[in-house]
Structure 1
């Protein structure tokens, strides 16, 4: 197992190199830069001062020099300086990444708490009225864009009914570490997490439903029924165990896919995480933050792929990743 993991990590190295080149080239291909944006916002800054700042920051150096310097700093844990926020990118991300991780974990937990029972119900009693309702819900979820659904949830439960806060991650007047503080954080977190989970359940439901329907028609299940094995035991020991294999492997991809979805959720619900920061950095042309976040997202995707393969091999020992 460890040999396979080390081999996969070795394969990830050239992938990361290629990813870093693409990120750097695309960032440099974007029009303008953060200093040009500051020129428009700061009337006291003239063109000469702007040119001096660019020379001081090395923005006039050849691209290969800038890339080498960026990668060298990246390997040392230095993600650069945010020109907009005037602080190191590592400090800026440290202030927000906790909120995004917490939101992502809550979405994954809620997604599986909702999707697994519905998938089992739909697969075990397929073609029933309950199955038709669940399949209909899946179709609606699949056809509804996340940002539209999130806006509707915010309007209904935030502004109209007033059941949930409409922005932020916690009320500022609460003292950190108290019970009311954590309860208030959960209150702020629940609506965006539930919005992401209700849309994200469609994949798990359909996978699980299809696997159960296919598995219960296989020969080993028919043999168990012929031997008089109780139906509940057939489902718990044979059908569900086999059907959960692709669902377990799907978990790694679910985690990495949440990074993209958090951009919409955090922006709509004004939730201070790295998704909201990413969108703000693009509009403000803060390329140090943009390149750092895209690189982190790429690394998370590669790790998620490896995690999915490992989960798959652990759930079913017959499967070994190559």
Structure 2
């Protein structure tokens, strides 16, 4: 029980912080969306081209947009309390069903991009730190700075031009081949072929950030007394980095990765649009253009929950990487 106590404090602290945070985000999202000009009824009327004043008034009553702002917020919070995200004004389907159809592809894209960025960042940062000041370090530093400075959508377009148009290695759009009914390994290979380019395009910016962070942290760690003592005992440099330096270098990476999840979800909007990836990013963008606030609020709510949950997981991982955190 004594050993479980610190971990329980970390989990309980994260949970007590998460609930009011999500509630505050829900209310702020709702209020900020009201600042946008127009609403779903205006968009529907503009698209139909023949809407009358009576039909517009009927639509406002049907969608609840005739109510004052406080009444709309109260109705929205009441639905959320019953786990009801509402009905899309554009698709006329439950928001939960629409998001459930897009969520797996978004989790696959964002999770894969974050994992790839962490792995490549650790690998490149370790190489740069162990060869600090040499030509490999300078070359990788220049390359990472170039990647860091290049817009993700341009990288995506260049990848499509090279790997899809010129070489024909990967499909240029979508998450699966249209018109095929694949299963097993064939379906897995097809999904991976569609995933590689958007996942890589989304991860490159964060790879550059993590690699530079790992390099700086690991150079500092390699100068510590316990590392110098282990090196004096004849411990192999690779073993030295793997057993001692990597664990310490992971601490700032895990901290920053939890914060970056929100940026990844935002960046997924551009990447999903470039590659035609059917995720929540494109769904949110389309909902914004059509003023489909129930769908947009649902996407924002789920994104907020994911960010809060990943940050709570990051707290647990930090406690595992550095047990001193649990005693603070």
Q: Distance in 1 between matches of 2:192 and 2:33?
A: 36
Structure 1 equivalent of residue 219 of structure 2: 213
Seen in structure 2, the aligned counterparts of structure 1 residues 112 and 8 have a Cα distance that, compared at 3 Å, is: closer
CA distance in 1 between counterparts of 2:184 and 2:236 reads 50
User: Once the 2 structures are TM-superposed, how far is the Cα of residue 17 of structure 1 from its aligned partner?
Assistant: 2.4
- Relative contact order (C-alpha < 8 Å, sep 6+): which is higher? 2
Mapped partners of 1:304, 1:48: distance in 2? 48
Contact 1:313/1:321 (8 A) holds in 2:
no
Spell out, residue by residue over 1:143-189, the C-alpha distance to the aligned partner (whole angstroms, 9 max, x if none).
11212222222222223333221211112221143433322121111
Q: CA deviation at 1:228?
A: 4.3
Alignment counterpart, residue 191 of structure 1, candidates 183, 192, 197: 197
Q: Tell me the equivalent position of 1:130.
A: 136
Q: 1:184 to 1:292 in 2, by over 3 A?
A: same
Q: Please name the residue that 2:42 is paired with.
A: 36
Partners of 1:230 and 1:196 lie apart in 2 by 35
In structure 2, what is the equivalent of residue 56 of structure 1?
A: 62
Deviation at 1:316, TM superposition (A): 1.2
Moved more, 260-269 or 305-314: 305-314
1:21 pairs with one of 27, 34, 38: 27
Q: Which moved more, 1:269-278 or 1:150-159?
A: 150-159
Which residue number corresponds to residue 177 of structure 1? 183
Matches of 2:162 and 2:315 in 1, distance apart?
40
Residue in structure 1 matched with residue 324 of structure 2 by the alignment: 318
Runs of 5+ consecutive residues of structure 1 not aligned to the other structure: none
Give 5+ residue unaligned stretches, structure 2.
1-6
Once superposed, what is the RMSD of the aligned Cα atoms?
A: 1.9
Deviation of 1:112 (Å) = 3.0
- The within-5 A match list for 1:276-295 is 276-295=282-301
User: Of 14, 28, 44, which aligns to 1:8?
Assistant: 14
Q: Deviation at 1:127? A: 0.8
Which of 87, 91, 94 matches 1:88?
94
Matching residue of 1:200:
206
Give the structure-1-normalised TM-score: 0.93
Q: 1:104 to 1:115 in 2, by over 3 A?
A: same
Q: CA deviation at 1:232?
A: 4.0
Q: Does residue 152 of structure 1 match 2:158?
A: yes
Which TM-score applies when normalising by structure 2? 0.91
Paired residues in the alignment total 322
Q: Which moved more, 1:77-86 or 1:173-182?
A: 173-182
1:304-315 superposed matches below 5 A? 304-315=310-321
Deviates more, 1:6-15 or 1:195-204: 6-15
Question: What is the Cα deviation at residue 196 of structure 1?
Answer: 1.5
With 118-127 and 289-298 compared, the bigger mean Cα shift is at: 289-298
Q: Among residues 117, 124, 140, which one is paired with 2:123 in the alignment?
A: 117
Moved over 6 A (4+): none
User: For 1:204 and 1:321, how far apart are their aligned partners in 2?
Assistant: 27
Deviation at 1:241, TM superposition (A): 2.9
Q: 1:47 aligns with which of 33, 45, 53?
A: 53
Go from structure 1 to structure 2 and tell me whether the alpha carbon gap of 1:208 and 1:62 turns closer, same or farther (over 3 Å shift): same
Is this contact kept in 2: 1:310–1:321, CA < 8 A? Answer: no
